[in-house]
Structure formats: C-alpha cells, structure tokens
Structure 1
Amino acid sequence: MLSVQNVHKKMGQTNVLTNVSFDVTPGEIFGFLGPNGAGKTTTIRIITGLMPATHGTVTVDGFDVSTDRQQALSRIGAIVENPAFYPYLTGRENLIHAMNLIPGLKKVDLNALGALVGLETKLDMKVKQYSLGMKQRLGIARALLHNPKVLILDEPTNGLDPAGIADLRNYLRHLADHRGIAILISSHLLSEMELITDRFAIIDQGQIKSIQGDGEAKTESVILCKVDRKQMNEALDVVALAFDDVKIIQQSAEMFIVPRPETDIPHLLKHLVDRDIAVYQIGMKHETLEEQFLKVTKKEGGTNNAFITSQ
C-alpha cells in the first residue's frame, strides 16, 4: 500500500537521507523508530508531499507522490504530534469544517466515524472540554474523513497518560484489523511500539539500520542458564562442545546466555546434566526492542543518546 524505495534527500552538502526503503501493507501497523535527528520527520514529509526527495520514489496504492501527487495524497491521512482544533466548536463542528475543505468529499457518517474512534457520545461536546486523548482520537477521525488507504502518525502518544496510550493503541489496532488501513507510526516510545507494531524499521543518521521482516521474531531470543558457580568453567566448555561456532556470553559468576533458539534447550540441558553440572535455571531471554535498538544504533557511532524509552 505504501512503498518507499531508495529515497535520498540532500540539503546543501549534507545527506539527510540515504537509500531509505520500506513497505507498509494493508492492515499492518508499521513502526518507524529512531533517535532525534535520525531522519524520521524528513521521511514523513517526503511521503506526505511536503518535501521532495532528491532521488527515489514514494508510491501510495500504486500512485507516485511526485508524478501522481493528487491521487497519491488523496489516499493518505496524517496526524503530526498534537492535532489542533477550534476549541469553541464541538467535535462534530470541527469535523464538518474539515469536510468542507476536502474537494469532492462524499457525505460522511460522522456518528459512525465517531464510534469508530470511541467518541460516539462526545462529538457534540466543545473541544475545549476534551482531554488530550480525546483530541488525539478526534484527530484520527479527521484524518479518516476521506477514507484513506494509509494513516501516518508522527509521535501520536505525546502527552498522553498510560490509559490514553492504551486506548489509542486499541483504536489503531481496530482500524488496521477491521478497516485494512496501512498505519505508519513514528515514535520515541520503544516500549509502546513493541506492543502495537507488526513490524518496524530503525533509522539512524539518515539510513535504515534494521527492518524486522515478515515471519521473523520482532526481537532476538537467547537461552539463559544458571548453574553452580563452582562449575561455571566446566559448563562453558560443555556448551562450546554442544554447539559449533557459538558465542557464549557470561553475565555473572553463575549465569550465562547462548544465542540459540528455544528448540535447543533440551539439547543443551542434556549435555549439562550428562556432565553432572547442577542446573538451577534454564529458559529463554527475549531481547527487548530497546536492547535491539541500542545495539543497532551503537554500530557506526549511532545517536541513541537522545532517544527516549519512556515517558
């Protein structure tokens, strides 16, 4: 539905984006992650036609944003951070005003749209009475007025409390699952992105450093094993014999991890027990999105020092 291919952006003598490529499919929530200054907002500006790419293509539902601008942009709905509304108007009146600004827009069932985003009983309240979470939902409703194929949200959880974030997550999941909308979310909140996204790309210094692909686990997993500390050296020797070319990481005097899949736990346990090594704990440790992000962006001197992982 949304395809970004080999996008470059040069400002003066600086390469802001280099060979940025990713796709977002219908019904998918795709996370676009990166530290401040990584190129997220520049990429979104290019996707939404606010800035031209130096090289590369962006297509929406098969229409090129550069050459078929009107067709492509008519299929995009977008919210950038906190949406602005007329506070003295009701939510319904704000939506009607927005409808009047969209050429050729057919009649919209605002009650159904309000119900879709959880505002069915709130549309006739003045927006000045809305909480920040309600304004975010009204912003999503406004972005959906023209029935877009792609919804782009730039930092949609800014300023929301935990309950508001959870509500927003549920509404977005509903939109993706029941309306088939392709959703691109740019955010700093790794813990939240780990909960909501189907796939994600990590961008740093204007380049895509990692894309979690179809059919792959979102984060890597390793086997964690706790043994008698007096037998640690012997245990490490056993692991080295059990697996070829494996990098063993010793975390403490009695704990080590092995980058192997869960199906290798019985194999590892058998080798340890056969050598009479006391095993106190064995199981999987899943690498968090934060750990993966830091690992990816620290390569080549990434800029993750400015990254925010919680509110």
Structure 2
Amino acid sequence: MLKIENISKRLGKEQILKDVSFEVSPGEVFGFLGPNGAGKTTTIRIITGLLEQDAGKVTVNGFDVVEERSKALTQIGAIVENPAFYPYLTGKQNLVHAKNLIPGLGQVDYDALARLVGLEGKLSKKVGEYSLGMKQRLGIARALLHNPRVLILDEPTNGLDPSGIAELREYLRQMAREQDIAILISSHMLSEMEQISDRYAIIDQGVIKSVESVRNETGAKIALRVNAEAMTEVLDALRVANYPSEVLENKIIITAPESECPAIARLVVPIADLHELTVKRLTLEEQFLQVTKKEGDSHAFAHTK
C-alpha cells in the first residue's frame, strides 16, 4: 500500500536521509521510530508530497508521489501531533468545513464516520468542550474524510493520559484491521509502539537501522549454562559459528533469533554439559538502544523521552 524505495535527501550540506526503504501493508499498524533529528519528519514530508526527495521513489496504492502527485495524495490522510480545530464550532461543523476544502469530494456520511472513530453522538458538541482524546479522534475523522488507504499519524499520543492512550491504541488497531487501512505512526514512545505496532522501522542519522516485526523472534538473548571447565571451548565454538556471545554471571549470553536454539544446542552438547538453555526476547526499547547506540554514547535514547 505504502512503499518507500531508497529515498535520499540532502538539505544544504547535510545528508538528511540515506537510502531509506520500507513498506506498510493494508491492515497493518507500522511504527516509525527514531531519536529527534533522525529523519522521521523529513520522511513523512516526502511521503505526503511536502518535500521532494533527491533520489528514490515513494508510491501510495501504486501511485508515484512525484509523478502522479494528485492521485497519490488522495490515497493519504495525515495528522501531525495535536490537530487544531475551531473550538466554537461543533465537531460536525469542523468536519464540514474541512470537507469543503477538499476539491471534488462528494457526500460524507458523518454519522458513519463518527461511529468509525468512536465519536458517535458527540459531533453535536462544540470542540471547545472536547477532551484531548476526543480531539485526536476528530483529527483522525478529518484525515479519513476522503476515504484514504494510508493514514499517517505523527506523535498521536502526545498529551494523552494513560486511559486516552489505551483507547486510541485499541481503536487504531481495530480500524486498521476492519477497514484494511495501512497506518504509519511516527513516535518516540517505544512502550506504546510495542503494544500498538505490528512491525516497526528504526531510523537513526537518516539511515534505516532495522525493520522488524514487534512479535517476531529476531530480538532475543539466548542464555546457556554449561560446566565451567568447558566454558572457553564453548565460546570458541560459538565464535567460529558466528554467534555473538559474552559471559555474564556464569552464563553464556548469545544474541541470536530464538529459532537458532536447536542449532546452538547441537553445537554445544558434544563439547560440554548443557545445564540450562533459556530465551529472553528483547523489548522494543532494548532493540532500539541496541541499533541506535553510538560509539562512546550511552544516551542515544535520552533525546526520545
């Protein structure tokens, strides 16, 4: 649905994006993560046609954002941070105003739209009386007026309380699944992205460092406990087999997909007594830190909190 292929962008002398590639499929919630200044906003500006890339290609539902700009942009709905509305108008009046600004847009079923975003029975209230969570939902309704196939949300949980975040999370996952919409969420709130996203991309210094499934097995630590006298031989065997490993609290810790456990066990058993083999999957925050940690900098994540 949304396909970014090798896009690069330079602003002045600074290379902002370098060969950025990822895809977002229909029905998927895709997290776009990175520290401040990593290139998230520039990428979103390119996707939405506000900025043209120097190289590469962006297509939305098959339409090239540069070559078929108008067709591509009709496929996209977007909100950036806290959406702004006229507080003295009702929710419906705000939507009608937005609808009138979209050339050629036909009739809109506002009641159906309200049901879709969880504002049923509330569009008659003035927006000045809305909670922040309701304003976020109204912003999504506005982004969906023209029935886009791709929804882009930049920091949608900013300012929401925990209950508002939980409600928005469940609503977005349900909408992606039931409406078959591709949702791209740019955020620095890793714990939230871990709960809402199906997959994610981590960008740092303009480079995509990782594209993973939140629930896959690639981010894992495999812990082995073997007899002490065989420790060195096991470490040597793991090194030869290209399994990165270290010793921590008398255990050998290996960074490898969980699916490698049988192969690792077969490697170790002939040369040592295998007393324990356990797997700990890395949290999204741990994976983020792992791929964005800079040489001599142990605070790569500090800017994102």
Question: TM-score if structure 1 supplies the norm length?
Answer: 0.86
Q: 1:186 corresponds to which residue?
A: 186
Q: Distance in 2 between matches of 1:24 and 1:176?
A: 11
1:52 Cα offset (Å): 1.6
Q: 2:216 corresponds to which residue?
A: 217
- Within 5 Å, give how 1:101-120 maps onto structure 2: 101-120=101-120
Q: Distance in 1 between matches of 2:85 and 2:217?
A: 37
**Aligned CA distance change for structure 1 residues 147 and 4 (closer, same or farther; 3 Å):** same
- Within 5 Å, give how 1:51-130 maps onto structure 2: 51-130=51-130
User: Does the CA contact (< 8 Å) of 2:78 and 2:152 recur in 1?
Assistant: yes
Q: Distance in 2 between matches of 1:56 and 1:242?
A: 40
1:136 Cα offset (Å): 0.6
- Within 5 Å, give how 1:131-150 maps onto structure 2: 131-150=131-150
1:114 Cα offset (Å): 0.9
Q: Does 1:259 align with 2:258?
A: no
Q: Distance in 2 between matches of 1:27 and 1:248?
A: 38
Paired residue secondary structure (2:193): helix
Identity across matched positions, percent = 57
Q: 1:250 corresponds to which residue?
A: 247
Gaps in structure 1 of 5+ consecutive residues: none
User: Does the CA contact (< 8 Å) of 2:4 and 2:20 recur in 1?
Assistant: yes
Kindly tell me the number of residue pairs found equivalent between the two proteins: 302
Q: Distance in 2 between matches of 1:248 and 1:284?
A: 14
Supply the RMSD in Å over aligned alpha carbons. Answer: 2.9
User: Does the CA contact (< 8 Å) of 2:39 and 2:205 recur in 1?
Assistant: yes
Q: Distance in 2 between matches of 1:54 and 1:74?
A: 23
Q: Which moved more, 1:217-226 or 1:104-113?
A: 217-226
1:286 Cα offset (Å): 0.4
Q: 2:279 corresponds to which residue?
A: 284
1:156 Cα offset (Å): 0.7
Paired residue secondary structure (1:212): strand
**Aligned CA distance change for structure 1 residues 270 and 156 (closer, same or farther; 3 Å):** same
1:63 Cα offset (Å): 1.3
User: Does the CA contact (< 8 Å) of 2:244 and 2:255 recur in 1?
Assistant: yes
Paired residue secondary structure (1:307): helix
1:275 Cα offset (Å): 6.6
Q: 1:297 corresponds to which residue?
A: 292
Letter in 1 for 2:175: L
Q: 2:17 corresponds to which residue?
A: 17
Q: Distance in 1 between matches of 2:61 and 2:272?
A: 60
User: Does the CA contact (< 8 Å) of 1:219 and 1:292 recur in 2?
Assistant: no
**Aligned CA distance change for structure 1 residues 103 and 275 (closer, same or farther; 3 Å):** closer
User: Does the CA contact (< 8 Å) of 1:219 and 1:289 recur in 2?
Assistant: no
Paired residue secondary structure (1:123): coil
1:249 Cα offset (Å): 2.1
Q: Which moved more, 1:162-171 or 1:256-265?
A: 256-265
User: Does the CA contact (< 8 Å) of 1:28 and 1:182 recur in 2?
Assistant: yes
**Aligned CA distance change for structure 1 residues 247 and 9 (closer, same or farther; 3 Å):** closer
1:226-245: per-residue Cα shift (whole Å, max 9, x none)?
67xxx545456557669962
**Aligned CA distance change for structure 1 residues 182 and 300 (closer, same or farther; 3 Å):** farther
1:299 Cα offset (Å): 5.1
Gaps in structure 2 of 5+ consecutive residues: none
Q: Distance in 1 between matches of 2:187 and 2:198?
A: 14
1:255 Cα offset (Å): 3.9
1:109 Cα offset (Å): 1.3
Q: 1:307 corresponds to which residue?
A: 303
1:251 Cα offset (Å): 2.1
User: Does the CA contact (< 8 Å) of 2:294 and 2:300 recur in 1?
Assistant: no
**Aligned CA distance change for structure 1 residues 5 and 242 (closer, same or farther; 3 Å):** closer
Q: Distance in 2 between matches of 1:155 and 1:189?
A: 8
